[in-house]
Amino acid sequence: MTPPAEPRYADPPYADPPYAWMNGGIVAWDDCLLHGRSQGAFWGANVFEGVRGYWSPGTDQLRLFRLDDHLRRLRQSMRALRLAHRITDSELVDACCQLCRANEFREDIHLVIVAYFGRGTGWDTLGVTDDTGIHITALPRPRAPGYAGGLSVGIASWRRISDDTIPPRIKSGANYANSRLAHQEAVRHGYDTALILNRGGTVAESPGACVVMVREGAVVTSPATSGALEGITVATAAELARRHLGLTLTRREIDRTELYAADELFLCGTLAEIAPVTAVDGIPVGSGSPGPVTRKLQALYEHAVRHGAGYEGWLTPVLTPVPAAGADPAAEPAAVQPAGVRSAAGTPAGVQPAAVGR
């Protein structure tokens, strides 16, 4: 079977939101800038986390999914890269929520937190510097079409970076040149995306997600030591499978040819969520359609991110409930605080503009 002539899915265009957050406060979207010779921009000396936000129309609430876990992983990346910043996790949570309210999001979003190195002495791109900063941006991001219909993937000719060269455990922008090479090669060959093998020839991950295989009743994913990121979404899928399906996720090496023999295959990532893979190198996975375990996990995931019943600790609500006029402040809130009220100067009410300097 030959791959499709063109990728089946493409991102729709999105209008820029009005605001970003940078170094202490809200800024205009177009003012969220780094100098081109800064270490973070020139050589990708930064670390980041992408976070999904899910809109629940029934409750008029936007919730950020597993934000605390993403911040924990961000701190691990910062520590490994020796990138110090005095901002606290609580302040970062507040900043993320403040930005979402300022942009008046009423849909699913993708929010990105970046910690970066700024100017080195004499603009030295490798020198030690205490000049660091953080910026946060968020965009509307509906669910990808591949979530429903499945993805066709190809094995990349590029091999995965490793812990003794550019450690995948450090979620740095520079690392994603590896992902970019693999993904764009796959797209040029007509696939939706790629799967990347490590130097040992076993499966590492896709360009932006972990790989999970269902074979003969076992659910398997590659360990971090194979070159996979220690994924938050794959950990979510593991917990859902354990609690609701009685399945235990096993972490072990996966051979390339096991993918051809798999009953089901899916990707787990913040943007991918739980995305079925229906063909590898033009060979159908199982029946060639998303399988029953994948579909059950998608349904469980959807319930967890929209409603949170049993998983409230995974969700950070963005909109602050406020009592109706004349109501008892201690009573159950009757509405959520609207984000659309703006000051005369155009800055969202209750939002502090960015401070000058840090």
Q: Give the span between the Cα atoms of 126 and 199, in whole angstroms.
A: 28
For CA atoms 338, 342, 343, 344, give the dihedral sign.
negative
Residues with Cβ within 8 Å of 47's Cβ and at least 6 positions away in sequence, in order, are 74, 77, 78, 81, 83, 114, 115, 116, 170, 171, 172, 173
Contact 279, 288 (CB under 8 A): yes
| Relative orientation angle of helices 67-80 and 89-102, to the nearest 10 degrees | 120
Q: Give the span between the Cα atoms of 45 and 170, in whole angstroms.
A: 11
For CA atoms 341, 343, 349, 354, give the dihedral sign.
positive
The set of catalytic residues is 171
E-strand ranges in 198-272 read: 203-205, 210-215, 218-221, 249-251, 264-269
